[in-house]
Structure 1
Amino acid sequence: MPASPTVLLTGASGVIGTALLAELSHCHVIALTHRTPCPGADEQLRGDLTADRFGLDQHTYTALAARVDMVVHGAAVTSFSSGPAATHLLNEAGTRKILDFAADAGAVLYHLSTAFVARHELTRANLGRDAGDAAARPEDYLDSKRAGETLVRASGLPATIIRPSVVIGHSVTGEISAFQGMHGIIHALLRGLLPLVPVPGPSKVDFVPCDVVARAIAALIAEGRSDGDVWVTAGHSAPTAERVLELTEKVAGDLGIAMQIPRMVGPDMVDRLIRPVFISGLHPRTRRRFDDMLAMTALFADAAAFPSSLGEIPATVAALTPAQVESAYAATVTHLARAKKLAPAPSAGPRQEVLAG
């Protein structure tokens, strides 16, 4: 591997891509962008992942392939409500185009998937449960990511599949380039919009800070890893749903936000009693918000802990301790509360240390 490899990065403006750019100072990064510019990359090239040769002319494509040593494929439809057609178009068909390019370039591929492919059977659709008014359909997203992984494995190319769990904000600042699904639930908790949470209290809620994910990917690139699956998760250090609610209430209290811990109930009680008796008569928007949350939280209810490769592959990125996971979550809640004007901005003070890695 060259001392300063050239990396083609897709999804550079996304949550992981934005954090990763700060960790790739030892690389020459070319960001393949579609709509959103990426000022942090060394170069930008506008292209379309779903088109042959990314929509580039033959000369530009060939010249790009001759330069690239590694590809980090992070571009994806991550919304649970985009529908199967749009989701598969980028997450599956786009992966085919990336594999074609990696083969042409003779490049190592780092393919970003999700740890939740291992919980595909827990979606409400696969459990035969009513989705109600939910716009969120996790099964579409997980189907597309599973298909992408299958393509990568079948390609025979040197490739590492990276499976992060839920990605939250920076471990110290809580900052993130875009708020995502879990942020929506935290926001609703802080505003008192969730009288109940449809997850049993002991269920593990796995999340990792965006900077930890970025450091893990950068370390894989630095050591030239070119095969296998890497789980970037909290693993057994993930807190329970009950503990997450306690932490949220504590941070809210520290910020001067009055919050009550909602009741936690299992999916069976939701389907037998709560949805037909209490939810069915609510305003459609409120009902849809509840059913969306039900669809997302189904992936956590009574699930076994994820494996974690942190501390092993690569060994330079330490496994997260329960205290570090909780600290990172508190930072995310704090940043979200301030960004949404639910709490005042912080006064100037000394910056804390980043999680050891």
Structure 2
Amino acid sequence: MPKSVLLIGGSGFIGRQIAAKLAQRGHRLTVPTRHREAVKADLLVLPNCNLIETDIHSPAVLNQLCAGQDIVINLVGILHGSATAFEFNHILLTEKIIAACQANGVKRYLHMSALGADINGPSMYQRSKGQAELKVRASQLDWTIFRPSVVFGAQDRFLNLFAGLLKIAPLLPIGGANTRFQPVWVGDVARAFAAAIERRELIGQTLHLVGPHVYTLAELVRYTGQISGHSRAVIALPDWAARLQASLMSILPNPPVSHDNLDSLKVDNIDPAGFASVLGWQPAALETIAPSYLAQSNPSARLDLLRSQASRSPHKES
């Protein structure tokens, strides 16, 4: 049965994929955003999608947005910022959304957290995500929490970031080179959110969303270079050098790494138990998805991709 869904953070990379999946299933969407013009091409083409330019941090606005909704989804997250910024976007906003849900009788709440969320974690990002989870669990809402590892897909800011750096750099020095990740495809993340809307047995569950394979950060960077046609040497930096690099990069308008990112890299971002089995499907492997967008500027890799797709296609009987 179609639901009315408020998708907070729906204009981002993951949010746009979730919006498309929910619209495909007939749900009615309200997506608040700070910059309507920047995202309208992706979202306004969706059926039953209402895009509203507004301030989601205003309790009055949240009250208006939550009125009449069946489900509220909170995807808001930042990777860079001060302790105040992490508290504002992860903890205080979660509190405001929960209060607006309670004031408007909205029971079903889906919350995007992160693998590694921990109130005692080494980074402000991990600690603030862990504190937000505590707020969700203490609410009287019918919640589901999602904990993805790093999410990849055609418009990601992870593999595409490395592809861009590798294109211009003769070599790439990185911190946390040996930290392990279990990247999950954005399509599987979107499908998990859609499943939580439609399956009540997922209420009260914390779902770990990870891919089928584990890689070190250095392995992911090398793979990105290989597929994009810009293979480079990857240099593992000691912590002091990585922090010096982060300090130098902090003058950039959108720095690729921060000191807090390096703190997050002190712990592996994996789950040995694998993708949440309760969801009932196996997640896509990085190698089956990433070449479709990383190989665009690499003719030989693009040809290999076409060949592999042809080999997987069913043969017609003559």
TM-score range, shorter chain: 0.7 to 0.9
Give the residue type in structure 2 aligned to 1:167.
V
> Using the alignment, how far apart are the partners of 2:52 and 2:242 within structure 1?
49
The alpha-carbon deviation at position 205 of structure 1 amounts to 2.3
Aligned twin of 1:231:
208
Aligned twin of 1:15:
13
The alpha-carbon deviation at position 80 of structure 1 amounts to 0.9
State the identity as a percent. Answer: 18
Q: Which runs of 5+ in 1 are unaligned?
A: 124-138, 170-174
The alpha-carbon deviation at position 222 of structure 1 amounts to 1.6
**Which of 233, 241, 247 matches 1:261?**
233
> Using the alignment, how far apart are the partners of 1:90 and 1:290 within structure 2?
19
**Which of 191, 194, 204 matches 1:215?**
191
Aligned twin of 1:192:
169
Give the residue type in structure 2 aligned to 1:4.
P
Q: Relative to structure 1, is the Cα distance of residues 260 and 308 closer, same or farther in structure 2, using a 3 angstrom cutoff?
A: same
The alpha-carbon deviation at position 190 of structure 1 amounts to 3.3
1:312 aligns with 2:277: yes
For residues 29-48 of structure 1, what are the structure 2 equivalents within 5 Å? Answer: 29-36=29-36, 37=40, 38-39=43-44, 40=46, 42-48=49-55
Q: Which runs of 5+ in 2 are unaligned?
A: 311-318
Higher RCO, Cα 8 Å, sep 6+? 1
The alpha-carbon deviation at position 250 of structure 1 amounts to 2.3
Q: Relative to structure 1, is the Cα distance of residues 120 and 291 closer, same or farther in structure 2, using a 3 angstrom cutoff?
A: farther
1:71 aligns with 2:35: no
For residues 323-342 of structure 1, what are the structure 2 equivalents within 5 Å? Answer: 324-334=285-295, 338=297
Contact kept in structure 2, 1:231 and 1:307, CA below 8 Å? no
The alpha-carbon deviation at position 159 of structure 1 amounts to 0.3
> Using the alignment, how far apart are the partners of 2:115 and 2:272 within structure 1?
9
The alpha-carbon deviation at position 246 of structure 1 amounts to 3.8
Q: Normalized against structure 1, the TM-score is what?
A: 0.69
SS class of match (1:49): coil
> Using the alignment, how far apart are the partners of 1:199 and 1:119 within structure 2?
21
> Using the alignment, how far apart are the partners of 1:162 and 1:318 within structure 2?
16
The alpha-carbon deviation at position 148 of structure 1 amounts to 1.5
RMSD: 3.8
> Using the alignment, how far apart are the partners of 1:249 and 1:233 within structure 2?
22
- Identify the structure with the greater strand proportion: 2
**Which of 37, 57, 61 matches 1:54?**
61
Contact kept in structure 1, 2:59 and 2:100, CA below 8 Å? no
Q: Relative to structure 1, is the Cα distance of residues 333 and 299 closer, same or farther in structure 2, using a 3 angstrom cutoff?
A: farther
Contact kept in structure 1, 2:62 and 2:97, CA below 8 Å? no
> Using the alignment, how far apart are the partners of 1:332 and 1:118 within structure 2?
33
